Amino acid sequence: MNLKSFLRTQLPAFLLLAGSAHAQTAVQGTVLSAEDKSPLPGATVVVEGTTRGTSAGADGRYALEAVPGEVLVFSFVGFEDRKVTYSNQTTIDVELEPQSNSLDEVVVMGYSSQRKTELSSAVVSLDAEQLTDVTSPDIGNMLQGKAAGVLVYNTSGQPGSQATIRIRGTGSITAASDPLYVVDGIIGGTFNPNDVETLTVLKDAGATAIYGSEGAGGVIVVTTKSAKQGQKTTVNFKFSAGVKSVLQGRLKMMDSEELYYTQKSYMPEVLFQAQRPESLLGQDFDWVDAIFRTGVVQNYYASVSGSSGKTNYYVSLDHYSEDGTLINTDFHRTTARINLSTELARSLRMTTRVAYTNSRDYSSSSYQTLEWAYCMVPWDSPYYADGSLIDLNKDTEHAWLSQYRYNPLFAEKYNYAKSHSDDLVGDLQLVWNPTDWLTVSSSNRFNRSGSKYITCIDPRTVGESEHGSLANSLSEGWGISSSNLVKAAHSFGDHNLGGLVGYEYGINKEEYLDVTGQDMPEGMGSMNSTIPFENGGYDLWGEGWSVFAQVQYSYRNKYTLTASFRADASSKFAPRNRVGYFPSVAASWVVSHENWLRDAAWLDLLKLRASYGETGNSSIGSYLYLDSYSFASKYHNKVTAIPVRKANPYLGWETANMTGVGLDASFLGRIDLTLDFYNIINSELLLNVPLSPSTGFFDQTANAGKVRNRGFEIALNTTNVKTRDVTWTTGFNIGFNRNRVLTTPTPEGFLQSSGGNGTVSQQVKVGQDIYSWYMPKWLGVDPGNGDPVWEKVVYDEHGRVTGRIPTNDYSEATNQVVGVATPKFSGGVSTSLRVFNFTLSGVANFVYGNKIFNNDRLTMDADGAFLTHNSVSLDNGLKWKRWEKPGDVATHPKAVAFGNKNSNAVSSRFLEDGSFFRIKNVTLAYDLPEKWVRKMRMQAMRIYVSGDNLATFTRFSGMDPEVDLQGTEYTLAGMYSTPYPVGRTFMFGVDLTF
pLDDT digits (tens, 9 = 90+) for 13-41: 433 333 334 457 889 999 988 877 778 87
Does residue 414 sit in helix, strand or coil?
Answer: helix
- Gyration radius of the chain's alpha carbons: 32
Query: Can you list the positions of beta strands (E) in 636-694?
Result: 638-645, 654-667, 671-683, 686-690
Residues 133, 82, single domain; the answer is: no
Q: In Å, how far are 436, 665, 671 from 606, measured between CA atoms?
A: 31, 4, 12
Range of the domain at 182: 106-224
Residue 663 CA to residue 676 CA, distance in Å, equals: 6
Residues 82, 173, single domain; the answer is: no
Evaluate whether residue 216 is within a structural domain. yes
Are 973 and 967 in contact by the 8 Å Cβ rule? The answer is yes
Residue 770 CA to residue 708 CA, distance in Å, equals: 9
What would the mean pLDDT of 247-263 be, rounded to a whole number?
94
Residue 583 CA to residue 37 CA, distance in Å, equals: 48
Residues 118, 205, single domain; the answer is: yes
Given a cut of 70, whether residue 779 has pLDDT beyond it is yes
CA quadruple 680, 683, 688, 693: dihedral positive or negative? positive
Residues 88, 113, single domain; the answer is: no
Residue 698 CA to residue 685 CA, distance in Å, equals: 18
Q: What is the mean pLDDT of the chain?
A: 88
Question: CA 248 from chain center: how many Å?
Answer: 23
426 φ, ψ (degrees, to nearest 5): -125, 130
pLDDT, tens digit, 9 for 90 and up, residues 713-722? 999 999 999 8
Residues 115, 203, single domain; the answer is: yes
Residues 129, 150, single domain; the answer is: yes
Evaluate whether residue 721 is within a structural domain. no
How many residues belong to the chain? 994
Give the single-character DSSP code of 621: -
Evaluate whether residue 159 is within a structural domain. yes
Residue 124 CA to residue 148 CA, distance in Å, equals: 8
Does residue 924 sit in helix, strand or coil?
Answer: strand
Residue 557 CA to residue 669 CA, distance in Å, equals: 20
Are 916 and 846 in contact by the 8 Å Cβ rule? The answer is yes
What would the mean pLDDT of 600-605 be, rounded to a whole number?
87
Residues 140, 65, single domain; the answer is: no
Share of the chain above pLDDT 90, in %: 54
Rounded to 5 degrees, what angle do the CA atoms 956, 961, 962 make?
170
Q: Which residues of 131-160 are buried (b: 16+ CB within 10 A; e: fewer)?
A: bbbbbbbbbbbbbbbbbbbbbbbbbbbbbb
Residue 532 vs residue 919, higher pLDDT: 919
Among candidate residues 185, 206, 224, the one where a domain is terminated? 224
Residues 136, 88, single domain; the answer is: no
Output the domain CATH number for residue 70: 2.60.40.1120
Residue 401 CA to residue 909 CA, distance in Å, equals: 29
Domains of the chain: total: 2
Confidence of residue 137 (pLDDT cuts 50, 70, 90): confident
Given a cut of 50, whether residue 675 has pLDDT beyond it is yes
pLDDT, tens digit, 9 for 90 and up, residues 376-404? 999 999 999 999 999 998 888 899 999 88
pLDDT, tens digit, 9 for 90 and up, residues 966-980? 877 788 999 999 889
Given a cut of 50, whether residue 7 has pLDDT beyond it is no
411 φ, ψ (degrees, to nearest 5): -65, -45
Evaluate whether residue 746 is within a structural domain. no
Evaluate whether residue 174 is within a structural domain. yes
For the beta carbon of residue 858, count every other beta carbon within 10 angstroms. Answer: 22
pLDDT given at position 804: 95
Evaluate whether residue 781 is within a structural domain. no
pLDDT given at position 40: 84
Does residue 782 sit in helix, strand or coil?
Answer: coil
pLDDT, tens digit, 9 for 90 and up, residues 411-425? 999 999 999 999 999
pLDDT, tens digit, 9 for 90 and up, residues 75-117? 887 678 888 989 888 899 999 987 654 555 667 766 777 777 7
Evaluate whether residue 528 is within a structural domain. no
Sheet holding 788-795, edge to edge: 778-781, 788-795, 801-807
Residues 92, 191, single domain; the answer is: no
pLDDT given at position 109: 66
Evaluate whether residue 381 is within a structural domain. no
Residues 182, 204, single domain; the answer is: yes
Are 533 and 518 in contact by the 8 Å Cβ rule? The answer is yes
Give the single-character DSSP code of 770: T
Question: CA 147 from chain center: how many Å?
Answer: 12
Among candidate residues 36, 65, 96, the one where a domain is terminated? 96
Give the single-character DSSP code of 520: P
Given a cut of 50, whether residue 167 has pLDDT beyond it is yes
Residues 110, 81, single domain; the answer is: no
Residue 809 CA to residue 794 CA, distance in Å, equals: 14
How many Cα atoms occupy the beta-carbon half-sphere of 158 within 13 Å?
17
How many Cα atoms occupy the beta-carbon half-sphere of 244 within 13 Å?
27
Residues 62, 117, single domain; the answer is: no
What would the mean pLDDT of 627-639 be, rounded to a whole number?
79
pLDDT given at position 106: 67
Confidence of residue 155 (pLDDT cuts 50, 70, 90): confident
pLDDT given at position 5: 47
Output the domain CATH number for residue 132: 2.170.130.10
Q: Output the 3-class SS for 345-410.
A: ECCEEEEEEEEEEEEEEEECCCCHHHHHHHHCCCCCCCECCCCCECCCCCCCCCCCCCCCCCCHHH
Among candidate residues 96, 119, 145, the one where a domain is terminated? 96
